[in-house]
């Protein structure tokens, strides 16, 4: 099955700050999977929040909290997934994880639907 490795997390200022997260896939073809980004804020008790998904046919879905600010893309030649994050806000702070599930199962913004996870990359947005 595919293995995932995230990168690109950093600390930025709110009010226009941008970051581009990458998820490098290995061991299998990422485009045959549903791929997704999740995040969890750094507060105790918080749960994973679905950010965006892309299915094996390239259809993309976003959570309402990031719609219009974040852009998900996939580069099949590099077997990689990207999340361009613009107009970052302090509430975007958290650990961001890349996840995958079999493409024939379809996509979902629920973390329980995914069995394959990367280790995460940290994003901090300060006001």
* Tokens standing for residue 39: 């995040």
Confidence of residue 15 (pLDDT cuts 50, 70, 90): confident
pLDDT digits (tens, 9 = 90+) for 81-92: 999 999 999 999
Task: Please report the pLDDT score of residue 16 as a whole number.
Answer: 79
Q: What is the pLDDT averaged over residues 108-114?
A: 93
Please report, rounded to a whole number, the percentage of residues in the chain having pLDDT higher than 90.
89
The residue among 27, 4, 21, 36 whose CA lies nearest residue 92 is 21
pLDDT digits (tens, 9 = 90+) for 43-82: 888 899 999 999 999 999 999 999 999 999 999 999 999 9
Beta strands in the chain (DSSP E): 3-7, 11-13, 19-26, 33-40, 49-54, 60-62, 70-75, 80-85, 94-102, 116-117, 121-126
Bridge partners of 75, per DSSP, are: 80
Task: Please report the pLDDT score of residue 46 as a whole number.
Answer: 87
């Amino acid at each position: 099955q595919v293995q995932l490795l995230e990168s690109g997390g950093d600390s930025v200022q709110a009010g226009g700050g941008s970051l581009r997260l990458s998820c490098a896939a290995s061991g299998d073809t990422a485009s045959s999977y549903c791929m997704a980004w999740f995040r969890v804020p750094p507060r105790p008790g918080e749960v994973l929040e679905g950010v965006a998904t892309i299915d094996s046919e390239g259809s993309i879905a976003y959570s309402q909290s990031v719609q219009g600010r974040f852009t998900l893309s996939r580069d099949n030649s590099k077997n990689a997934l990207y999340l361009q994050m613009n107009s970052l806000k302090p509430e975007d702070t958290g650990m961001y994880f890349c996840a995958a599930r079999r493409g024939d199962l379809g996509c979902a913004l629920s973390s329980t639907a995914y069995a394959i996870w990367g280790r995460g990359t940290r994003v901090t947005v300060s006001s």
